[in-house]
């Protein structure tokens, strides 16, 4: 009978198992955290936030009567704000 044969795992195998388990749990925790951060992040509606601010200022200037429709269209095309809901329709 050989019930005592082997005597268990050597120290380095046990240590390697613990290191691997801690690394796996750390990676899993990071993946869950990153997924929650991505899910909670608000989508960007505009690629260029400055262009959106410029378009709002341009809309306000048109509403106040500081610029006419032709100047508005020229400046809107210049800043690259191809918004479909602009106050002045092309025509």
Question: Residue 62 has what pLDDT?
Answer: 92
Confidence of residue 78 (pLDDT cuts 50, 70, 90): confident
Separation CA 91–CA 85 (nearest Å): 14
Domain residue spans of the chain: 49-79
Q: What is the pLDDT of residues 17-75, one digit of tens each?
A: 999 999 999 999 999 999 999 988 877 665 666 667 888 899 999 999 999 999 999 98
CA triplet 78, 84, 85: central angle to 5 degrees?
105
């Amino acid at each position: 009978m050989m019930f005592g044969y082997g005597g268990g795992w050597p120290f380095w195998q046990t240590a390697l198992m613990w290191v691997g388990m801690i690394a796996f749990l750390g990676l899993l925790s990071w993946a869950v955290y990153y997924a929650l951060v991505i899910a909670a992040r608000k989508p960007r509606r505009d690629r260029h936030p400055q262009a959106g601010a410029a378009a709002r200022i341009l809309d306000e200037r048109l509403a106040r009567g500081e610029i006419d429709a032709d100047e508005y269209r020229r400046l809107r095309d210049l800043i690259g704000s191809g918004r479909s809901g602009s106050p002045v329709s092309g025509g």
